Amino acid sequence: MKKVNIVYDFDGTLTQVSLPRYLILEKCNYEMGTSNEKFLNELNSIKEEKSCEAMEAFYEEFFRIINNNNLEITINDFLYGVDQIPYNRGLENYFLNINNWAKQNDIELKHFILTSGIKDFVENCKYAKFFQEVFGCTFKVENNKIVGIDYYLGTKEKINKLELLQKKSDTRSDKTIYVGDGLTDYYAMKYIHNNGGKTIFVHQNENDLDIYKEVNKENIVDYCEIADYNENTDLFRAIMNAIKS
């Protein structure tokens, strides 16, 4: 039986927004939480000032707001809004559909998440039961309260997780497919492409193609498709072709 792993970025790849949407900040008068325009503007200012990754700036601004509002939160508090994630089209049936197709073709298929978002959040999302494992950032917790980031999974660190995934005997595969949507997926896609796997770039609309061109400047993307996971879409066909190749 052929073994295939599909590794997905989460935000923007399986969801409709490219950055995590943590609604807990609504308790600090930030409507739509981390999707709030003021939050995003401050994030971009930090990113430009410190020349850091977007998600590093994201967490710095997140905890600045939390601390300035004297808000003490537990992991359970942080999960507020996990049931309101806006997913991409077709995802409600995608995992069942692709798993059934793989089984019919004598393929053992496993799904993984590789994200700079918070691991606990993804592990509590609607589709978590389909994920073999979630690799993501973790919180530092003291006295049951979240006080900061304990482990940050940056863009280059994703390569280490992919190597770990391939070395573990229970998840070693004949082929790995990586699905992502942004610049933060560049190093992961390059690693997978250069090691015999397949890469798929998904986007919401034509405006995102500038990002695709930047990611694919070294021709490391095998497929570029609209983020619609329904059967009989170009994306679903691309995933099947990548699995069969």
Q: Are residues 175 and 55 in the same domain?
A: no
pLDDT at 84 over 80: yes
Q: How confident is the model at residue 212 (pLDDT cuts 50, 70, 90)?
A: very high
Q: How confident is the model at residue 216 (pLDDT cuts 50, 70, 90)?
A: very high
H helices of 30-184, in order, are: 37-50, 54-68, 75-78, 91-104, 119-123, 157-167
Per the structure, the complete domain to which residue 54 belongs is given by 23-82
Q: Tell me the pLDDT of the chain averaged across its residues.
A: 95
Angle at which helix 91-104 crosses helix 234-244, to 10 degrees, equals 30
Q: Are residues 118 and 200 in the same domain?
A: yes
Q: Are residues 123 and 217 in the same domain?
A: yes
User: Which residue type sits at 181?
Assistant: D
The pLDDT of residue 188: 97
Q: How confident is the model at residue 206 (pLDDT cuts 50, 70, 90)?
A: confident
Number of domains in the chain: 2
- Tokens 């390569």 -> residue: 159
Model confidence, pTM: 0.96
pLDDT at 68 over 90: yes
Q: How confident is the model at residue 227 (pLDDT cuts 50, 70, 90)?
A: very high
User: Token pair of 160, please?
Assistant: 């280490």
pLDDT at 67 over 90: yes
The three-class DSSP label of residue 87 is strand
Instruction: Please answer whether residues 138 and 149 qualify as being in contact, where contact means their C-beta atoms are separated by less than 8 angstroms.
Output: yes
